[in-house]
Amino acid sequence: MGRTSGYYGPYISKVEELRHYKVELPEGTQDYAVKFLDGFIMKSWLDYISFGETGTGGWSNGDGLIHCVRAAWDLESEDFQVSLLKHEAQHAMDQARYKDITNKELEYRAKLVELI
C-alpha cells in the first residue's frame, strides 16, 4: 500500500529487495535504507488510468524506508543519487535531530542539499 498524489492505491509487486546506503550529506553521513520493488502486478491508480504511461517512482509511508519502483530509476544516475537518496536521507537526518521541524523546513533543507 502506498500513496500517490495523496490517494492510497494498491502497489502489488512480486519482488522486494532492501538495500542500505551510507549517504554523504553536508553535515555528515546518514545511513538510509531503500526497498526496491519489481515484478509489479499492479502499480496503483495513476498507472492504471494512464495505461502505463506514467506513475510514481516511489513513496515514503513513515516506516523509515523509501519504497522505490526499481524500473523507474537508473541507480547510477545523478537523479537517483541526488534527487532521491540525498534528498530523502537529509529528511531522515533532520527528523532525528529536530523533533519539531515542519514539512516546509524539511523540504527547504533537502532542496538545499540537492543544490549543494
pTM: 0.80
Give the angle subtended at the CA of 81 by the CAs of 69 and 17, to the nearest 5°. 40
* SS3 annotation, 40-88: EEEEHHHHHHCCCCCCCCEEECCCCEEEEEHHHCCCCCHHHHHHHHHHH
Q: Which residue has the cell 538510509?
A: 32
Segment 16-65, tens digit of pLDDT: 999 999 999 999 999 999 999 999 988 888 888 888 888 888 887 777 78
**pLDDT band at residue 94 using 50, 70 and 90 as cut-offs:** very high
- The overall average pLDDT reported for the chain is 89
Specify whether the CB–CB gap between 55 and 30 falls below 8 A. no
* Percent of all residues in the chain with a pLDDT value above 90, rounded to a whole number: 64
Cell of residue 49, nine digits? 488510468
Q: What's the pLDDT at 63?
A: 76
